[in-house]
Structure 1
Amino acid sequence: MNALESIQELKSRMSASIIGQDQLIDRILLVLLADGNMLLEGLPGLAKTRAIKTLSKELDCGLSRIQFTPDLLPSDITGTEIYQPELKEKFVFQQGPIFSNLILADEINRSPAKVQSALLEAMEERQVSVAGKTYTMDPLFMVMATQNPVEQEGTYPLPEAQMDRFLMHVIISYPDDAAELEILRLNRSEQSKAKAEKKDRISPEVIFSARNEILGVNISENMERYIVDLVSATRHPSKYSEELAQWIDFGASPRGTIALDRASRTHAWMHSRKTVMPDDVRAVIHDCLRHRLILSYEANADGIDADQVLNEVVKQVAVVG
């Protein structure tokens, strides 16, 4: 199988275990292929943890789960130096759970900013600095952080600078009734099986091959300018409409432009296209930009959310040429 067929096989295996969350599966694979990190927002029980566990089970790679709590320390994530007097090198670095391939940062907003920031260097620079030494992460590395949108007591909202480092902010909701019935039957089936049939795990080399092919996906100058114009509309909304000017205080950063480019090229590749189309950009704009906008008091007072603002942005910005 080539890289695309292998990714489709991986997606098919995940879909067999995760019912009713096709968008979640699609976005996890997209972020992994785009070499980014993902913030996932959804109520408890919507298969957030199951999704990344299934990915690590089907892909030959490691998984670390970090449960964020108010008493968590940065060293609980990055690791620390241990004093061992019997060795020639007295202090030995013991790696923390961040040193894995897939990182589930569960309920990331349960810990204060000091702990949250322990993830920043690993997410952005793909390295960790402890006691003056730098330790490099594995080339296959992705953080999937989750947060509960409802229960906010005892939580610490993520700062804008940290939100900006996530390639995508994905929001998931309840499955429909038909999917719920399938979930019920799947759960019963899994309980009754003594041993599940084991398949060969997919090699991580497939991810690296796919990333190389994605780099070759063509994006025309018109599409580049379309991406720039979309981001510019969030920064200079008064040029486009009164509603946008009233709704937006601060627009997306250059990371938003880069995220749109990477995500749209990956989306095109996943749909067997060698050239980015406007539909590819529009398919990922909400997940790439919703967490990079700071809305005005008026927007919040009127119940306008980031997705509605981005709908207006897409409506106002035309494709160049």
Structure 2
Amino acid sequence: MSTTNSLPSQPQSLPLGEQDIIQLLSKLADVTDELGRVIVGQRSVVQQLIVAMLAGGHCLLEGAPGLAKTLMVSSLAKTLELDYKRIQFTPDLMPSDIIGTEILETDHDSGERFFKFKQGPVFTHILLADEINRTPPKTQAALLEAMQERTISYAGNIHPLPKPFFVLATQNPVEQSGTYALPEAQLDRFLMFVRVGYPSAEEEIEILARTTGTQSVTLKEVLHTEEILTLQSLVRQVDIASELLQYISQLVRDTRPDISGNQSVKEFVRWGAGPRAGQAIVLCAKANALLNQRFAVTLEDIRSVAHGVLRHRILLNFQAQAQNMDTDSVIDHLINHTPPPESPLVTNTSSSNAG
């Protein structure tokens, strides 16, 4: 991470001094280092997980079995002083297994019987929804309200979820047997959709060496609950130039084939991204800037998060499937053909470092 001796763009609304902010941001690097003690490679995936956390959103990880998706999420939870629960999604999982249910109890003094709501595992800070696409849509939908409203409605009562609250879900590629593709409405609840690829040859050798011996790693807690909430507040205060907001708006609008001027979109896209995609890009770009100890968003921040934000919000048509065109290729074409802002302020990273 690049550093300077001052904070020219330091937010003023939080009761934190310059050194407090520098120390807090340095802990983000410590989280990455701790995860590196367990996870070999995958630094881009880890960074996107942290970006989603800082932006206060949920993250969906997709990759083939055995790529340490579950280990990555559980290890991240161990570096944070947050409650953590894991649900293994299976075809017979019921909505009540996630959100909870009412149980009949008896008052020992009066003998009166009454129903009491017993909270399910969704009442936690970090919820790992493991292999979320192995359960039918009815059970998948049980998470919709929790992910959007941060509440659970049951029997006419609304139960708030703890703060912060993250759903970190994993899924196997939908073409594998025994999976149920997540509907677009549920996919849109995820701030980012991150693909986990295979390790390099060197990384795979390191994985074999680490996991077949006697070495064990105990991760330490780096960030506490209040620090995470403070970092989320800092994200909201990161500066973004009006030119970059216009660029993001144009990028998102160009995903819609009825109004897009992009030929790839017109040819291969059936349905484009909505305004929520633009909001997600702004928040993730701000979080990415803060992760790199800057209080101003640059064009590079936007481009680094665009794929994770857009790939699950663009629906391709049959022609794209016939030509083996994927959403990442469409996003690449969009980024390459959407004119960037001309102002030098949106690409200058040296004048906005945080520490």
> TM-score of the superposition, structure 2-length normalised?
0.85
Give the direction of change, closer, same or farther, for the CA distance of 1:266–1:198 in structure 2 (3 Å limit): closer
Give the direction of change, closer, same or farther, for the CA distance of 1:258–1:99 in structure 2 (3 Å limit): same
Counterpart of 1:299?
320
Counterpart of 2:187?
163
The one-letter amino acid paired with 1:104 is L
SS at match of 1:167: strand
Counterpart of 1:4?
25
Superposed, 1:155-234 pairs within 5 Å as: 155-189=179-213, 191-193=214-216, 196=217, 199=220, 201-234=222-255
Deviation at 1:248, TM superposition (A): 1.1
Superposed, 1:108-127 pairs within 5 Å as: 108-127=132-151
SS at match of 2:37: helix
1:280 aligns with 2:304: no
CA distance in 2 between counterparts of 1:197 and 1:316 reads 47
> TM-score of the superposition, structure 1-length normalised?
0.94
Structure 2, unmatched stretches of 5+, are 1-21, 343-355
Deviation at 1:179, TM superposition (A): 1.1
Counterpart of 2:62?
41
Counterpart of 1:64?
85
Structure in which a larger fraction of residues adopt helix: 1
Equivalent in 308, 313, 318 of residue 334 of structure 2:
313
The one-letter amino acid paired with 2:290 is W
Give the direction of change, closer, same or farther, for the CA distance of 1:102–1:197 in structure 2 (3 Å limit): closer
Deviation at 1:61, TM superposition (A): 1.2
CA distance in 2 between counterparts of 1:241 and 1:232 reads 10
Would the aligned equivalents of 2:78 and 2:219 in 1 still touch at CA under 8 Å? no
Deviation at 1:156, TM superposition (A): 1.6
Equivalent in 95, 98, 108 of residue 119 of structure 2:
95
Counterpart of 1:252?
273
**Deviation digits for residues 167-197 of structure 1 (CA, Å, limit 9, x no counterpart):** 00100111111111221222245x345xx56
**Deviation digits for residues 24-53 of structure 1 (CA, Å, limit 9, x no counterpart):** 211111111110001110011111111111
Equivalent in 292, 301, 307 of residue 271 of structure 1:
292
The one-letter amino acid paired with 2:97 is D
Counterpart of 2:18?
none
The one-letter amino acid paired with 1:160 is E
- Report the aligned-residue RMSD: 1.7
**Deviation digits for residues 268-314 of structure 1 (CA, Å, limit 9, x no counterpart):** 11112221111111111011000000112111111110000001111
CA distance in 2 between counterparts of 1:160 and 1:305 reads 16
Would the aligned equivalents of 1:107 and 1:145 in 2 still touch at CA under 8 Å? yes
The one-letter amino acid paired with 1:118 is A
**Deviation digits for residues 142-169 of structure 1 (CA, Å, limit 9, x no counterpart):** 1011111165323221111111111001
CA distance in 2 between counterparts of 1:188 and 1:154 reads 30
Counterpart of 1:24?
45
1:81 aligns with 2:105: no
1:105 aligns with 2:129: yes
SS at match of 2:170: strand
CA distance in 2 between counterparts of 1:256 and 1:201 reads 31
The one-letter amino acid paired with 1:143 is V
Would the aligned equivalents of 1:240 and 1:316 in 2 still touch at CA under 8 Å? no
Structure 1, unmatched stretches of 5+, are none
